[in-house]
Structure 1
């Protein structure tokens, strides 16, 4: 894996930043950072995978080990990321219609879907 630079906050994480799984394998780039900046809560990132035939994936904050200037490192294999349209991971959400993670993820997915 390349030098990823210094650790950063989700607030400094740029779209296009490379994403690596727990084994340092590249899994895509950051397409959207999901957060409630007003409450300073980071929810996770939507990842655009390499290649035109693959669908976007969602890495919940609990699946992210570290954020760096030039890379996001997951704490799980890339295959464990979720489809942004799927239900949230078990134990993450009690009421999906009112949970900020699910609401923000749904909004981001709708924006991405409209761009296709």
Structure 2
């Protein structure tokens, strides 16, 4: 069976539980939430769940977002000293809708 694709994705498609890695590829956390500056709809960073609890990764520290992982520019030491998130600007990640849900909304059908 071929490997699953590992395509680049937008922050809006990022799913909870996605592994978060240091710059050398070591996983240190998983995605919990996405932070967005709602005034201008700009990606501000991610809240991750690590062994030390919830931590904030600034958008400038995110190197790439892919279907299977988030790669940061952080070393292991930097990842271990990340700050807790500022709860005032959190935006929950919404699970992706299925194609049938999207088509249903497009054509005015409601789920039962």
TM-score in same-fold range (> 0.5) = yes
For residues 46 and 4 of structure 1, what CA distance do their matches in structure 2 show?
A: 24
Asked if 1:56 corresponds to 2:54, the answer is yes
**Of 52, 77, 80, the match for 2:78:** 80
Report what 2:29 is aligned to. 28
Structure number with larger C-alpha Rg:
2
User: How far does residue 3 in structure 1 lie from its aligned partner after superposition?
Assistant: 6.8
SS of the equivalent of 1:57 reads strand
Specify every segment of 5 or more residues in structure 1 that has no aligned partner in the other structure, as ranges.
Answer: 86-104, 110-116
* Counterpart for residue 17 of structure 1: 18
Segments of 4+ in structure 1 off by > 3 A? none
> Alignment RMSD, CA only?
2.6
The answer to whether the 8 A contact 1:49-1:55 is kept is yes
Is this contact kept in 1: 2:19–2:68, CA < 8 A? yes
Alignment CA distance shift 1:16-1:37 (3 Å)? farther
Note the residue ranges of structure 2 that are not aligned, 5 or more in a row.
91-112
How many Å separate the matches in 1 of 2:39 and 2:13? 15
How far, CA to CA, are the matches of 1:71 and 1:20 in structure 2? 7
Q: TM-score, normalised by structure 1?
A: 0.63
* Structure-2 change in CA distance of 1:78 and 1:61 (3 Å): farther
